Amino acid sequence: MPIVTLHKNGSTYRDEVKPSTNLVVRAGIKQFPYPNLAYQCGMGKCATCACKVLAGAEHLPPPNWKEKKQLGERLEQGYRLLCQLWLEHDIELLQEPAAAAA
């Protein structure tokens, strides 16, 4: 089972999830990584769920067109849209606070 590690606001959250888990869907039903994951649309349109992949990026599929459109050059820095990913392997993520909250 994939182990998800999320770094957010200086804290680290870790839990095991079922294979093919979408973290935005899980947060939507108030399971880990709720309430520590920021997201909005769940459809690849807002980029609120963007996270930098610190480890495990090699197991992810190539970015889809929504990720390319929303993330642009941030893709090369390792960012992905969590609402567009169904996880099959361990992954370590960093979600930076929204600029408005900083």
At 65, the amino acid letter reads: W
How many residues sit in the footprint of ligand FES (CB under 6 A)?
14
Shorter beta-carbon distance to ligand FES: residue 1 or 24: 24
Interface mask (CB under 6 A) for ligand FES, residues 70-89, using x and -?
x----------x-x------
- Distance from the Cα of residue 19 to its chain's centroid: 15
CB 73 within 8 A of CB 50: no
Strand partners, 55: 92
Taking the complex as a whole, the smallest distance from the CB of residue 83 to ligand FES amounts, in Å, to: 3
Tell which positions 30-69 bind ligand FES, by CB under 6 A.
39-42, 44-49
Task: Report H helices in 29-77.
Answer: 65-71
H/E segment holding residue 15 = strand 11-16
At 55, the amino acid letter reads: A
Taking the complex as a whole, the smallest distance from the CB of residue 79 to ligand FES amounts, in Å, to: 11
Interface ranges with ligand FES (CB under 6 A): 24, 39-42, 44-49, 70, 81, 83
